Amino acid sequence: MRTTAVVALALCVTANPRCANQHPECDNWAKQGECVKNPSYMDKSCAAACGVDCTKAKDCFGFEIDLYGDEMTDHDRDTFANNLRINQHQPPTVPQFTELGHKLVRIPEPLRSRLFQHRQLMLDRDLLRREGCTRGYLNNCGRHPTLTMPLDRDLTREINRATASVLEDWIGREKWGSLVHTSTYGIRRYTNGSTLQAHVDVVATHAVSAILNVGQDVDSDWPLQIMGHDGTAHSVVMAPGDMVLYESAKAIHARMIPLNGTSYDNVFVHFRPSKGWERFVDVPNGGVVADHVEL
């Protein structure tokens, strides 16, 4: 019991430090009906007086997180609070590569066909394995785990080469140099009910990235939410063979509508620029984040 109370309190402070009244007049204003008349100010500054529920939080896309929902762990809550801070503080510090920050294209041939074939081969050989999950980012991964099927070395090399070329064309080689490959994940299979919290990636290594969809069996679209540099939230729906190019350390992204279907198979490829990235290469995850922030 005691632990729960402490965690709840710590969370309110971390995820929503303004949950307490920020002004001595809050209770009076609330009595005068200001919570209803002026909710945008009052919910933030007089949350306690207006009875704002600190067990719920909204991400930047407006999705409400039930922080104490039955699939949420302490770790999920910590990650969520940490992500809120990083989402607020990291993006403004990261250079902008393109006008919007993301782009939906097709995976170039012959890579697309090779990926489809390889995926089928792995499924035929029964090489789908359960993957350790990244709790917090990927919610409910205990009940709805991710699976993985291996890529071979040649195919990985081909993925890295082909995506680097598309991404370099997209952001401009002159300014940012050739891209330095940092990681390739997948083929990762998301299963029914998966959601991905709003986050940005590690700026040192995950600056320019691509998501390749190599297969899906869904009953409804599973959109990617991604914040554009235009300040609006975009919803991107991928078909098998599509690839989303995105500025992964700057554009906040999520999949907050639970996957409705059996499977969704992606490959992720991450790069950083070889020019103009010197000041970021030693920055740890979330390291640009100040200790104390207002949410």
Ligand X SMILES: *[C@@H]1O[C@H](CO)[C@@H](O)[C@H](O)[C@H]1NC(C)=O
User: Which residues are near ligand X by CB under 6 A?
Assistant: 192-193, 219-220, 260-262
Contact 272, 206 (CB under 8 A): yes
CB-based contacts of 104, cutoff 8 Å, min separation 6: 236, 238, 242, 243, 244, 245
Collapsed DSSP state (helix, strand, coil) of residue 121: helix
Chain Cα centroid distance, residue 84? 11
Q: Which is nearer to ligand X, 186 or 261 (CB)?
A: 261
Burial class of residue 38 in the structure, from the number of CB atoms within 10 Å of its CB (0-12 exposed, 13-18 middle, 19+ buried): middle
Task: Report the nearest approach of ligand X to the CB of residue 218 (Å).
Answer: 8
Task: Report the nearest approach of ligand X to the CB of residue 261 (Å).
Answer: 5
Integer Cα distance of 76 and 102 in angstroms: 27
Q: Which is nearer to ligand X, 176 or 190 (CB)?
A: 190
Beta bridge partners of 180: 272
Q: Which is nearer to ligand X, 24 or 62 (CB)?
A: 62
Integer Cα distance of 44 and 3 in angstroms: 27
Integer Cα distance of 144 and 163 in angstroms: 29
Q: Which is nearer to ligand X, 64 or 169 (CB)?
A: 64
Task: Report the nearest approach of ligand X to the CB of residue 257 (Å).
Answer: 8
Q: Which is nearer to ligand X, 71 or 131 (CB)?
A: 71
Count the neighbouring beta carbons within 10 Å of the beta carbon of residue 201: 24
Task: Report the nearest approach of ligand X to the CB of residue 220 (Å).
Answer: 4
Integer Cα distance of 182 and 248 in angstroms: 13
Task: Report the nearest approach of ligand X to the CB of residue 75 (Å).
Answer: 23
Q: Which residue is nearest to ligand X (CB)?
A: 219
Instruction: Compute φ and ψ for 231, nearest 5 degrees.
Output: 85, 5
Q: Which is nearer to ligand X, 219 or 230 (CB)?
A: 219
Task: Report the nearest approach of ligand X to the CB of residue 216 (Å).
Answer: 12
